[in-house]
Structure formats: C-alpha cells, structure tokens
A = this chain, B = another copy of it.
Amino acid sequence: MARSVQNLYCAGMPRPREFDENHVLLAIRDEFWDKGYAATTTDDLLRVSGLGKGSLYGAFGDKRSLFLRVLRDYDDANLLMLRERLASAARGIDVVREFVLGLTGDPTGAVARRGCLLANSNGELAASTPDVAAEARRTYDAIATVLTAALERAQGEGDLDPGVDPSEAARAALVAQLGLIALGRTGMDIGALTAMARSALARLLPAPAQ
C-alpha cells in the first residue's frame, strides 16, 4: 500500500510532457464552445487536442473536471481583459459601450451566433450542475463591479448623467449584454442586433443634460 520512504530521496525524474497545456486547453475550450458540453464527446476532445486518453485523463481528470477547468480559465481571462481595458481606456464609458456592443463587432454574425461560453454553459447546465451556476454568479458579479467602476469614472469624465446610479446602470448594461447574447444565438440579422444594442445603450447610459 504505502510507498517506501526511501523513494523520497532517491527518485528518478519523470518523463516530461510532450504537449503545451495552454494550447490544448484553448483547443478544448473552442470545442466545448462550438458544440456545448453534452454534445462534445471524449473522442472530439482527443481529436482536437491531439492527445491520447491516458494523457488527457492523467492531466485534467474526467470530462466534467476538464470542462469546469476550461470554463474557469475562460471567465478569468475575460475578467482580466475587462479590467485591463478599464485601466487603459481613454474614457470609462468606452469600456461599457464596448462590453455591450462586443458581439456586434463581427459583420458576418459568426461571433454573435457562437455567443459566450459562460452564457451558453449556464443555459445548458445551470439546472443540473450547481458548480456552473455558482461560477456564473461569481463572474457576473465581478463583471458588474468592474462596469460600476467604469461608470463612476464616466460620470467624473462628464460622459454619464450624474443622476444615474452607476451600480444600477452597470447591472442594466450586463442584463442588456446577456439579452443580446441570447438573441445573437438565434442567428438573427446582425444589423438588427447592432441596432438594438445601440438603442439599448442610448437609453441605459444617458449623457449629462447640457
């Protein structure tokens, strides 16, 4: 049962990994993103990662663990990107506008049809996998916090009506983005989607009365 203690100070060195973990995780993320959790088979994961079963299971555990890992990485990366945008943005309001308009940037509509991995996963799995729902709550709350900071800055910069509560408006922007993601998934005309996003932004983020 227990390994002998002598192994602790007299161990051979293991064979190093032959694959790049980040590269594999991104390929797997794309597969889950395109197909959804249930529709992605283990064979799909092996194919896009180029690994064998032993390697994949040895490195990341089973399908569910791998999915949660990928989802958390995705969320963390997006949050980091949002915070960096706020840090480097010329104006706070630009961050919120870009956040809401995000999916409309691609004129082919492919990005809109693909949606957001977190939103898609939450829709598919929230009922059966509490971990996914909790992850979504955590992420959306963090996003709302960043957007609130952006709108507070926007008020100081004269881009947002001072009568607006930044926290409420930030949450309204989040709601709008999630609604646009849902509509984008239906494959509706990208021009109409863009118009809706702009119209919603105009209502939610009123400029100060001159």
Contact = CB atoms under 8 A, between A and B. Distances in A.
A105 interface: no
A136 interface: yes
A135 to B, nearest CB: 9
A107 interface: no
Contacts of A39: 38, 128
Interface string A69-89: 000000000000000000000
Contacts of A140: 183, 186, 188
A149 B41 CA distance: 46
A182 B113 contact: no
A29 to B, nearest CB: 15
Residue among A128, A178, A182 with most chain B CB within 10 A: A182
Contact of A123 (B123, B177, B204): B123
A14 B134 CA distance: 53
A83 B5 CA distance: 76
Nearest to A204: B203
20 contacts: A34-B127, A35-B128, A36-B38, A122-B186, A123-B124, A127-B185, A130-B187, A133-B185, A133-B186, A133-B187, A137-B186, A169-B203, A172-B200, A174-B183, A175-B179, A175-B200, A176-B176, A178-B178, A178-B183, A203-B204
